[in-house]
Chains A and B, each alone.
Chain A
Amino acid sequence: MAQIPPAIQNWFSSKGWSIHPHQHEMFGRADDPATLLIAPTGGGKTMAGFLPSLAELADGAHDGLHTLYVSPLKALAADIRRNLRVPVEEIGLPIRIEDRTGDTSATQKKRQRADPPHILLTTPESLALLTSYDDAPRMFSGVQRIVVDEIHALAESKRGDQLMLALARLQSLCPDLRRVGLSATVEDPEAIARFLARHPDSCYIIQADPGPDPDISMLQTQEMPPWSGGGAAYAIPAVMEQIKQHKTTLIFHNTRAQAEIFFHNLWLANDEALPIGIHHGSLDRQQRDRVEAAMVRGDLRAIVCTGSLDLGIDWGDVDLVIQIGAPKNVKRLVQRIGRANHRYNAPSKAILVPANRFEVVECVAALEAVQEHDLDGDPRGPGPRDVLCQHILIAAAAGPFEADALYTEMRAAGPYAHITRPDFDACLEFCATGGYALRAYDRWQRLQQRPDGRWQLRDPRAAQRIRMNLGTIQDTDTLKVRLKRNRGGKPLGEVEEGFAASLTPGDTFLIGGQIVRYEGLREMVVEVSRRADRKPKIATFSGTKFATSTQLSERILRMFAQRDWPQLPPHTAKWLGLQREISRLPQRDRLLIESFPDNGREHLCVYGFAGRNAQQTLGLLLTKRMEEMSLAPLGFVATDYATLIWGLDAVTDPRPLFQLGALRDGLETWLAGNAVMKRTFRASATIAGLIERNTGGQRKSGRQATFSSDILYDTLLKYDPDHLLMQITREEAMRGLVDFGRIEAMINRIGGRVDLLRLDRVSPLAAPLFLEVGKVPVKGEAEERLLAEESARLLRAAGLQPA
């Protein structure tokens, strides 16, 4: 095994630290083409990744870029730069370290391309952008190592797919490139290794000592959790007590809106005025930076946060993690718990706080899973082709390319190892001509084939547009929120456009823990004041909603089957008992459906336990059938365990709705026109370059110039249904938002055993669904009826006679 240079060893000893066994092992494997390290948070992962680079650069002989470090967070790149500079400066190593993210200044970026540092810390998007310049071969020549941090998170997203395509490109530029992946605990390390390594290279996996089991429990409160809702306001006093007893507490929420409400309530109960901050992705960057800095200084006793703090940044002093709301996924829960107690070999302490009574069941199921080390996760399919389309455009931006060479190169990326030539050619054709059955753009091709057979951009200026629209992160349309001042007040954060449209001057809402008053919209900026004299509406943020994992859902169903529930608090056990009495408890091998009237509408509740996305799809399929049967469905809402559908007419014979074979057969046609497909299409069309988010000028203030991507979808569906993007949309929807796989699994599980119960009112288990957000309207006959009702009402209100 190679020796770690004495200077570095001495530095470790001078700090009173010893080099961990996995750090030694990583150093010993420094010459391997690919290595994956799996270690818990605080295990010295980053140092393990960088040790070989520091050693190789110690003699000052290397000129130019040596090591690339890629992390999913900009903040992490900056954080690592600071942390890495300490040993480099204290040991006196001749190494230049810089970061490069979306926040880096243009001057700095330009200089970095001409004179790159030895170690460059960056994000997948910034790296892909670098490969799109014609000077990429010069800049990257001589690169020896790439360290991919938090690879478990990247491997779950298109950002990771894009990164692996960029690595394939880099590997062509620097054939000696060695890859290192750093991952948190995952259920399938082999899959991450295949994702990381150049195909078909092997990748050695080093498992660090996972450390002691976490100390994890469910919060004990005087007050009972409410029947429904996600605020967990009942738990505020108990959470406050925990904050007082600990040094620093991270309070995780599943959504940004919930974090805002919780923070607001926590602040009202903070009679000792403890320093507590809030951190989530919709807050202004300066606000987030301030909170992060205060956290690093140890000034905060608690941070209310969302997944924006899931990754990376090392908050050394956190001694308690609180998870508000059901964790949905055991693996992510374990990773979150790891945020507490970064000292290696100290158990992490975590408390779960169910927001409502159903979540009590989920939390207990998750606790049991953590204790049994039963991590969950669903394998991800091959790399999506919309990302490949963008990769082809990026290649074209860098200069003319040969199709054969590009195909060979990209197949070295793990997620794309098995893509066929026809599939690749279809992507190339799409990038070049749009790939339409009607060949309308022969004169205006985006990519043209030159006489030498290579492909290039028809209009060189297109390179700029491609770079401006690079990336796979989909942000919903959001508007900036600022305090109203003469010359642009303080930025507070962002809200969704749809929410902004629903505001009228005088309305109040919560953002960054403050109540603000809506004053008006100016040049696409929401202007607010601090005159908060009304109860706040809540800002709606779309933040990713994860589906409860299959494994966790199964655990819950197994728990339902028990005769009684000693592991549950009495109130929850009583509630389940009541459901069993009034209706029935869902069972693993049967499908329970309840039908009942409420508040002038008819309701149908389907307990599929297939996860949020699949239950959503089920809602779409069922409402479509109801529409065909003239049952006038109005809308539905889906949770991880059930779908609730409401409509104007009573469902007298719902049996034809649940012919599951027919559900499966009709899926394609049924899905074609629905909102989920359109949302999926929008995302894929944006990634593939058909829809440009940025067109160069500032955002248009009048909206009549832009039209909805739904129109493009409808047009393709009508005239070109087999177009590449429609194929991609179907594939994506099947495994993403539609999640038909889990509907199929459910159909197989229940094997035709459907129980339909007619009740005279809402059942205990269905009640919480009424307060769920994310209701999906059904655009059909019922909408026309409603519109007629509403227009008659408006006319009467205006003193006019309805027609």
Chain B
Amino acid sequence: MNRIDFTFAGQQLTALGSGALWWAERNLLCVSDLHLGKSERIARRGGPALPPYDSRETLTRLATDLTHTGATTVICLGDSFDDLDASSALAREDRLQITTLQAGKRWIWIEGNHDPGPVEMGGTHLSEWISSDLVFRHIAREDGRGEISGHYHPKVSLTARGCSITRPAFLLDQARLILPAYGAYTGGLRSSEITLTNIMAPDAMAILTGAKPQLIPMPR
């Protein structure tokens, strides 16, 4: 099955193989770090002209998840755009795609460090959003409780029968849940890096994304 159900802060949540988080009770889909417009931003700054299909790819994946879940609320957990200029420079087709996706849905853009202000898109712009006992924000806080965040692009590497496997991953402990990056052109930070081992409790778990998501103790 392409999903793993778990309980977090008293709520039943589901990690999807795509890296999205599904909250069935609220009909809510949460994705983090879309980094839309990344290729445009790199070219604008005099860097190489990367294949300009990253936004299309990311939005296509999001559309698939929205169709499968039938979500009515969408939370984009920050760094949705690679920078604020990228949000205005997005190709017409990509904008259109976002508008189509937004139709009939409640859409919340959480601010991230790459997109710290409101973007010219429909939907609500918030620095964080609280519902039941869950708080959605971009970067995990030290005092976070029931906190769902992104920012770190966590990934997990493990070795099984001599094969090394690396996947973007959800990280999860009693207090917080960190989502993997959903955007096409995003790298990852290993769960064993000190930044992440400092944030996550010793008994933290990781859910590896992929065709069949897997739950394991978070490698440190």
Q: Give A contacts to B, CB under 8 Å.
A: 433-434, 436, 438, 440-441, 443-444, 446, 458-459, 461-462, 465, 498, 501, 634-635, 689-692, 695, 702-708, 711-712, 715-716, 718-720, 723, 775, 777, 783-784, 786-791, 794-795, 798, 800, 803
Contact = CB atoms under 8 A, between A and B. Distances in A.
**Most chain A C-beta atoms within 10 Å of own C-beta, residue among B52, B91, B215:** B52
B53 A719 contact: yes
B212 A788 contact: yes
Given A715-B57, A720-B53, A787 B165 contact: yes
6 contacts: A441-B49, A704-B153, A704-B187, A715-B53, A786-B161, A803-B215
Interface stretch (B68-76, B125-133, B188-196): B188-196
Contacts of A795: 215-217
Contact of B53 (A458, A692, A718): A718
B189 A703 contact: yes
A784 B212 contact: yes
Contacts of B44: 443-444
A784 B211 contact: yes
Contacts of B40: 440-441, 444
Nearest to A685: B48
B43 A434 contact: yes
Given A634-B163, A715-B54, A708 B49 contact: no
Contacts of B187: 703-708
Nearest to B161: A786
Given A692-B48, A704-B152, A718 B57 contact: yes
A438 B52 contact: yes
Contacts of A462: 46
Interface of B: 4, 39-40, 43-44, 46-54, 56-57, 91, 152-153, 157-158, 160-165, 181, 184-190, 193, 195, 208, 210-212, 214-217
B160 A790 contact: yes
Contacts of B54: 715
Contact of A723 (B51, B57, B210, B214): B51
B28 to A, nearest CB: 23
Contacts of A798: 217
B51 A436 contact: yes
Given A635-B163, A788-B214, A803-B4, A434 B153 contact: no
A791 B181 CA distance: 22
Given A501-B157, A691-B48, A695-B47, 11 more contacts: A438-B91, A446-B49, A459-B46, A634-B161, A702-B189, A715-B57, A718-B57, A719-B53, A784-B210, A787-B210, A791-B216
Nearest to A444: B43
Given A461-B46, A465-B46, A787-B160, A794 B53 contact: no
Given A440-B40, A707-B187, A690 B163 contact: no
Contacts of A446: 43, 46, 48-49
B79 to A, nearest CB: 11
Contacts of B51: 434, 436, 712, 715-716, 719-720, 723
B52 A703 contact: no
Contact of A783 (B163, B189, B193, B216): B163
A700 to B, nearest CB: 10
Given A690-B49, A704-B153, A791 B43 contact: no
Contact of B215 (A777, A786, A791): A791
B57 A703 contact: no
* 7 cross-chain pairs, A with B, having the tightest CB-CB distances, nearest first: A434-B49, A440-B52, A707-B187, A790-B160, A719-B53, A444-B43, A704-B153
A775 B165 CA distance: 14
Nearest to A781: B211
**Most chain B C-beta atoms within 10 Å of own C-beta, residue among A433, A446, A691, A711:** A711
Contacts of A708: 187
Contact of A707 (B57, B163, B185, B211): B185
Contacts, number: 136
Nearest to A440: B52
A35 B193 CA distance: 57
A791 B4 CA distance: 13
B91 A440 contact: yes
Nearest to B89: A443
Given A440-B52, A444-B43, A775 B217 contact: no
A719 B43 contact: no
A30 to B, nearest CB: 44
Nearest to B41: A444
A459 B43 CA distance: 11
A259 B164 CA distance: 26
B218 to A, nearest CB: 10
Contacts of B195: 702
A433 B49 contact: yes
Contacts of B152: 704
Contacts of A791: 208, 214-216
**Most chain A C-beta atoms within 10 Å of own C-beta, residue among B51, B52, B53:** B51
A368 to B, nearest CB: 38
Nearest to A459: B46
B154 to A, nearest CB: 8
Contacts of A433: 49
A440 B39 contact: yes
A775 B162 contact: yes
Contacts of A789: 160
A69 to B, nearest CB: 33
**Most chain A C-beta atoms within 10 Å of own C-beta, residue among B46, B54, B57:** B46
Contact of B158 (A704, A716, A790): A790
A690 to B, nearest CB: 5
B163 A777 contact: yes
A438 B93 CA distance: 11
Contact of A702 (B157, B186, B193, B211): B193
A459 B186 CA distance: 26
A718 B52 CA distance: 12
A789 B165 CA distance: 13
A619 to B, nearest CB: 15
B188 A703 contact: yes
A323 B147 CA distance: 62
A794 B217 CA distance: 7
A721 to B, nearest CB: 11
A634 B163 CA distance: 9
A774 to B, nearest CB: 13
**Most chain A C-beta atoms within 10 Å of own C-beta, residue among B48, B52, B54, B57:** B48
Contacts of B4: 803
A500 to B, nearest CB: 12
Nearest to A690: B48
Nearest to B160: A790
A777 B163 CA distance: 6
A703 B56 CA distance: 24
A342 B219 CA distance: 56
Nearest to A461: B46
Nearest to A782: B163
A713 to B, nearest CB: 9
Contacts of B215: 791, 795, 803
Nearest to A784: B212
Contacts of A459: 46
A692 B47 contact: yes
A719 B50 contact: no
A587 to B, nearest CB: 33
A719 B57 contact: yes
A441 B208 CA distance: 35
Contacts of A718: 53, 57
A787 B166 CA distance: 11
A695 B46 CA distance: 11
A727 to B, nearest CB: 14
A151 to B, nearest CB: 32
A794 B157 contact: no
Nearest to A436: B52
A441 to B, nearest CB: 5
A159 B184 CA distance: 33
A381 B173 CA distance: 57
A501 B193 CA distance: 11
**Most chain B C-beta atoms within 10 Å of own C-beta, residue among A786, A791, A798:** A791
